[in-house]
Amino acid sequence: MPGLAEASAPMGAIRLHYVGQSRTPLLVVDDFHPDPDALVDEACQGQPFQTGGTLVSR
Residues 2-29: pLDDT tens digits?
Answer: 444 444 445 568 889 999 999 999 888 8
Tell me the C-alpha to C-alpha distance, in Å, between residue 45 and each of 36, 41, 48: 15, 7, 9
Residue 17 CA to residue 29 CA, distance in Å, equals 11
> Which amino acid type is present at position 2?
P
Which of the four pLDDT bands, split at 50, 70 and 90, describes residue 34?
confident
| pTM given for the model | 0.38
Residues in contact with 19: Cβ distance below 8 Å, sequence separation at least 6, in sequence order: 26
Going 37 to 55 to 47 to 26, the CA torsion angle's sign is negative
Q: How many CA atoms lie within 13 A of 5 on its CB side?
A: 0
